Amino acid sequence: MMFSIMLSRIISTSLFVLLLILLQSCETETEDEANYIARVNDKYLTESEIDMELDSLKSDKKFREEFIREWIDREVLYSLAVEKRILDSKEYNKVKESSEKELAISFYLENQLSKTIDAVKDDELRNFYNSLAEISTLQNDLYILNTINFNDPYAAENFRNILIDSDINWKSTIDQSDSSAIVDFTLMGQYYEYQLLPKYISRRLRGLSKNEVSSVFEKEPKVFSVVQLVDSFEKGSRVPFEYVRVDIKKLYNAHKRKEMLESLLERVYKEFEIEIKSEL
């Protein structure tokens, strides 16, 4: 009798927990359905997913629209693949198995190596940067720019006036501007001279002093631009560490990962039965 009572309580508790899980699931689905940005059948793209994927680019209207369109295309094509039973084919599953191995390896290495790499100090990065002197010499003139493009010449002129007449910085001025008129913008962008098309843009930059702001100009039909020359470096020189720290850290991380991977494999090989047959 006692056992029956206990069993009944266990079943009741389990059903209650299951009900809670189902209710939470329904609430999540309702929230997604209420706050989604795009939908393909029963798949939803939410604002939080866009923010997570685009990060610092989420304020760029063009990037945002392109990301949403690519998400829709991907979901539609995936649905078509499912309908055609591509997921059941031998070829697909062979590639899937290989991809899963690669993904598992990547996650494992990230777990093993990330703590050491993330702890790197600036002194180490500077020493690594200095060791790259020969390959980091500029082969073309380089410009560090703040840029912004508008679809309205009056909005561009107003932005420039606010920037020049006040003490606030470029980003704060953008925050105060009419976002509907902004096409896109870049902060501390790095551009080689050959990337500055059309040519008259590079000629404009040569006439600017460090930190000077250009006049409004029509970069392309109905796109009105303002540019600030943060700094510039001539061919044959080296960009100061402060401007390339992020890129140097990426190179350093790749270098350290290679070293640590070789060390890791050398250490664990003895734990596996490994055999390579010699050619007959």
CATH number of the domain that residue 227 is part of: 3.10.50.40
User: For residue 136, is it within any domain?
Assistant: no
Output the pLDDT for position 32.
Answer: 54
- The domain total for the chain is 2
Q: What is the pLDDT of residues 158-189, one digit of tens each?
A: 999 888 887 678 888 888 787 888 898 888 88
Tell me what the pLDDT averaged over the chain comes to.
78
Instruction: Examine the pLDDT at 110 and tell me if it is beyond 90.
Output: no
pLDDT for the residue 150: 93
pLDDT band of residue 277 (cuts 50, 70, 90) is confident
Strand partners for 255: none
* 78 found inside a domain: yes
Specify if 47 maps to a domain.
yes
Q: Do residues 124 and 252 touch, judged by C-beta distance below 8 A?
A: yes
For residue 165, what are the domain limits? 142-233
pLDDT digits (tens, 9 = 90+) for 33-70: 667 888 888 888 888 887 777 765 555 677 778 888 88
Instruction: Please check whether residue 186 lies inside any domain of the structure.
Output: yes
d(Cα 235, Cα 166) in Å, to the nearest integer?
34
Grade residue 153 by pLDDT with cuts at 50, 70 and 90. Answer: very high
In a domain, 70, yes or no: yes
Please give the pLDDT value at position 151: 92
- Answer yes or no: is 27 within a domain: yes
Is residue 13 situated within a structural domain? no
Q: In this structure, is residue 112 part of a structural domain? A: no
Tokens of 2: 């006692």
- Do 150 and 182 contact (CB within 8 A), yes or no? yes
What proportion of the chain, given as a percentage, has pLDDT over 90?
7
